[in-house]
Amino acid sequence: MAKTLDRQAVLLLLVQALYGVANALSGTFVPVYLWKASQSYTLIGWFTMGHYVMSGLTFYVAGKWVKEHNKMNSLRVGIILSGIFYCTVLLLGTQAKVYYLPLGILNGIALGFFWIAFNVVYFEVTDPDNRDRYNGWAGLLGSAAGIVAPWVSGLLITSMQGEKGYRLIFTISLVIFSVSVVLSFWLKKRHAEGIYNWKHGIQQLMQKGNPWRRMFPAIAAQGVREGVFMFLVGLTVYVATQNESKLGTFSLITSLVALISFWIVGKMLKKNNRKLAMLIGVIMIAIVILPLFWKVTYTTLLMFGIGTSLFMPLYIIPMTSRVFDLIGQSEESAREREEFIVLREAGLVLGRVIGLSSYLIVLPLNHSTVAITWLLFSVGIVPIAGWWFIRPFLVEQQA
């Protein structure tokens, strides 16, 4: 790794990995925790909506802080607020169901502060030549976190009979967040430069011929799928099995497959094969949903989860790399990296809100397994449109 990624990039990977472990330990089970307390798909939807909307608004507002002041403090505030979120859920216990919207908002603010700073630092410590490799390692470490953390959490929750287990995993997450804050102090303080342009995103999208007019809907298409899949898959596994340990095992198996896939794709993916890789990826992550139309059982959910883990890197690695390559295509755009990262997040948030809105329209009225499967399939095919929008940029790199 040291041959292609410098010490700052490796350190950033470690901070990202610890943050991912803490969230994987508890984050997988927060929707389940709220579900057990409320038995309400609507409540879960509005908790998630608060998270998505506030994450986007925080990105937009914190962009000024990250551009003009100390971006590392924004990163640390995000980690600390994530810790406060889990601490609050811990203190509220089953009463968390009453405060679902404020909790979603707090979680969104925490993630907004962390990821705006993280994405800017990620841009600064990588370049087009090693970005695919960094994303491959990030996916690999994220998958490793997903293998161990939810599996351990599921075992603890099941063996300690619920409430005690939840309290323990939320506490462990708090400790890991604290370690990642300490580790972040070894990341160099990066110099602030320039003045934040509040209107930058609108200006890009209004300008004829601007590449972001195609990139933005491609990013939004990614968000549509994420907006539903990020929480509904785990919740569906729990509802189908009524067992947190099985949800942990589901995460272990799918994350192990993802780890291997991210490692292979990260090593083999080159600029000249991104187009084909993405096309295969977006088609296959839609096709693997089809077993659920037969029957929603733990077995068919595993088939779907393994298939998704296998093919997702083919889509997500070139997608992420190409967006950041576009941000760094010139000295001028690199100087506006904070504004471009905010624009990228705006696309993701718009897509997530669209996807989640479809969830809030469909599931409160009909939460049968058939309705859930059709919803997953409907939002799961949207990345195909995203590939079509981003295709010219991938052709460009083949030339």
Give the model confidence (pLDDT) of 328-349 as tens digits.
888 888 889 899 999 999 999 9
Q: How many CB atoms lie within 10 A of CB 306?
A: 18
Nearest residue to 225 (alpha-carbon basis) of 51, 20, 385, 24: 385
Q: If DSSP codes are grouped into helix, strand and coil, which group holds residue 290?
A: coil
How far, in Å, are 103, 216, 272, 399 from residue 395 at the CA level?
43, 17, 8, 7
pLDDT of residue 162: 64
Q: How far is CA 189 from CA 133, 150, 299, in A?
A: 24, 33, 48
399 pLDDT band (50/70/90 cuts)? Answer: very low
Distance, in Å, from the CA atom of 233 to the CA atom of 229, rounded to the nearest integer, reads 6
Q: Between the ranges 63-72, 86-95, 171-180, 370-379, where is the mean pLDDT highest? A: 370-379
Residues near 372 by beta carbon (within 8 Å), at least 6 away in sequence:
232, 236, 292, 296, 363
Evaluate whether 64 touches 195 at the Cβ level (below 8 Å).
no
CB 29 within 8 A of CB 157: yes
**Is residue 232 scored above 90 in pLDDT?**
yes
pLDDT score, position 77: 94
- Report how many helices (DSSP H) and strands (DSSP E) the chain contains, helices first: 17, 0
Cα 218 from Cα 188, distance rounded (Å): 33
Residue 69 has pLDDT above 80, yes or no: yes
- The model carries a pTM of 0.89
Return the closest-CA partner of residue 86 out of 149, 155, 30: 30
Q: Which of 228, 257, 44 is nearest to 146 (CA)?
A: 257
The residue with tokens 């088939």 is 303
Question: Can you spell out the DSSP letters for 331-373?
Answer: HHHHHTHHHHHHHHHHHHHHHHHHHHHHHHHHTTT--SHHHHH
Instruction: Give the pLDDT mean for 180-205.
Output: 86
Instruction: Assign 4 a pLDDT band (cuts: 50, 70, 90).
Output: low
**More confident of the two residues 2 and 136:** 136
Tokens of 164: 């005690």
What type of residue is 295?
Answer: K
Question: Is 60 exceeded by the pLDDT of residue 84?
Answer: yes
Question: How many angstroms separate the CA atoms of 229 and 183, rounded?
Answer: 31
In this predicted model, what pLDDT tens digit does every residue of 278-329 receive, in sequence order?
999 999 999 999 999 999 999 999 999 999 999 999 999 889 888 988 988 8
Half-sphere exposure of 269 (CA within 13 A, CB side): 36
Q: Which two tokens stand for residue 74?
A: 């924004």
Q: How many residues does the chain have?
A: 399
Read off the pLDDT band of 1 (50, 70, 90).
Answer: very low
Distance CA 49, CA 309 (A): 25
How many whole angstroms from its chain centre is CA 362? 23
Among 189, 163, 198, 192, residue whose Cα is nearest residue 60: 198
188 three-state secondary structure: coil
8 Å CB contact between 182 and 101: no
